[in-house]
Structure 1
Amino acid sequence: MVQINERGVNVAVLGATGQVGMVMRRVLDELDFPVKNLRFMASARSAGRTLEWRGHEIEVEDVAKADLTGIDIAIFSAGGSTSKEWAPKFAEAGAYVIDNSSQWRMHEDVPLVVAEVNPDDLDDIPSRIVANPNCTTMAIMPVLKPLADAFGLKRLIVSSYQAVSGAGRAGVEQLMNEAQAALDQGADQLVFNGTAIEFPEPTKVVRTIAFNEVPFIGALADDGSLETDEEQKLRNESRKILHLPDLKASCTCVRVGVFTAHGMSVNAEFEREVTPDAAREVLESAPAVELNDIPTAQLAAGKTPSFVGRIRSDQAVDDGKGLAFFVTNDNLRKGAALNAVELAQIVARKHFADQL
């Protein structure tokens, strides 16, 4: 434990050495989070490393050997199985846990929150665990919430175009290795023959991802629907965050050969008539949203907002009650690390005001 300030909250980051954990450390600094004492934790494999934060050298602790007492807020980015084991232990020791995995999202006593959308759900946290949404859900919530409030959201069809960083560092390395192999062999041969290049065997994404799109992310759901669990997350999480339990939603999740920033093609049906101009007027003042004519992955990578553009009437919906639009968002930043730290900020204000 390293003391940073005289006042503030005691913070622990579990999974501090990972890809998202690295961004979380950066975001804690950028947002000037009110840290009093700061601890970094990970598995035994990463324990003992030293990480720098605001000029302080902090040694990474082995969570299995760590004393969990005295922690006010723990921010997790360590996977579902780790969270299942350790979140209750941290909570029992007195911490509020902000969890970035899918483990707790649909538990009734665990709030599922996007900072700009439903922060009031953090007023009462009986389990002391707070869930961070999936990155695709996260990207479209700041856009859908104000539209739902203004026009009454009824139905969603979403096709996602998800970057390889969503599959972790292993996804990034697979794309790099495959792209290099293609360039070495003459990638333009793929124009006429998809088998012209001898690619390495896939190591993370289930099929070759370089110069390709792969319409399968996650695992098949066990309910016979033939949807993947990634596709079901959008529907289930959207219902919970927007407090719309009957929202109809269908999603097709596609992994694409982009390093960072997910894209989503959205068709939304509303209860009331909506025009593109009316939608733009609503979204112009929406927090964490930025209008852009052509929102691309490269535009969003490294930035905070959900970029939304190509807003037009959905010609397949009657009576002018439908919109089609495209959203891009950095899946590592707002899609994971930034929202988690923002939720920790809200928890600090609501539950540790006397320490700030």
Structure 2
Amino acid sequence: MKNSVKVLQIAFTYIGTVVGAGFATGQEILQFFTRYGKWGILTILLSTLLFVWLGTKMMLLAREIKAASYEDLNRKLFGERAGRALSLFTLIVLIGVNSVMLAGAGSVFMEHLGLHYQTGLWITLIFTFLLLGRGIKGVMQLNSIVVPLMLILSLVIIFNTAVSPGAARFLTLETDTPLLAAWVSPLMYSAFNLSMAQAVLVPIGSHTESRKAIVMGGVIGGAGVGFMLMAGHFALSANMPGIVQYEIPMGSIAQQLGTTVQLIYVLLIFMEIFSTFVADVYGVTLQLKQYIHVPPMLISVTVLVICYVTSQFGFSSLLSVLYPIFGLFSLFWAFMLGAYKSKGKTGN
């Protein structure tokens, strides 16, 4: 029973870490999969296989080397000097992404709940600080609440779409984009999200004694991400091409289901942002702890202050430069992870 709970905690944390704001709003699904029409089904299946394989392998490798943070994993894959440099680059991108997520949380409070933007920021920061005190257990417990709710909402969206006139459109939807782009897209999507998720998956792997729990958690987590991708793609395809005009396409679909479902959806968007934000700040804290010998909570507070300050000015221009570079790095990183030959099974 205890092992089953651990498996589900790993799976839910995996899903919750990958499912950030871009995923929740539907923009990532639209840009990486649905725009490629009927090819979206096959490319989502490919992406799911990569999430299952590489996510599980990452956690097992972290367990094998007893990684203190994702930097230890990168050193193992790339060597001391290159691993340290790439981890620093990942750190900058993570802080940038977290700043954007924090700004997104403020926007949710302002636009959908009628509260002040700064109120949204401070609520997010305070609850993040409180949860970080619980360490990796707090991160996993949070996702054990948020992710089941997200899965239930995905099922509601699937059932609603199944009775709509455009339900079968995901099988016939045509696209003008090149076929090569359709097949590169899931590679980019999986690699990028996995390289970002290493901040959380590495400490999960190193803190989990049972090899079997990691394998089962990785398989269920990767499959869960694939299920949510497919649910979103199914709903978005049924509303193509008109859905493209919306900044939050999944929000438009939720609106069709009534006020109650829309309110639940808005709260879930915030919870998805919040759970990813907490997990990333925790991962960044672990990496900085290897260099800065002060209490971890002091590091976390400093990271939160940096995220708060940068969320006031906007990080979009910097991220527009960093994202493509980080995307290429992610592909190389995922290839190195996939090609790495582990010493073999250790423990149960």
Q: Indicate whether the TM-score tops 0.5.
A: no
Relative to its length, the structure with more strand (as a share) is 1
| Higher relative contact order (CA closer than 8 Å, sequence separation 6+) | 2
Give the TM-score taking structure 1 as reference length. 0.28
Give the TM-score taking structure 2 as reference length. 0.29
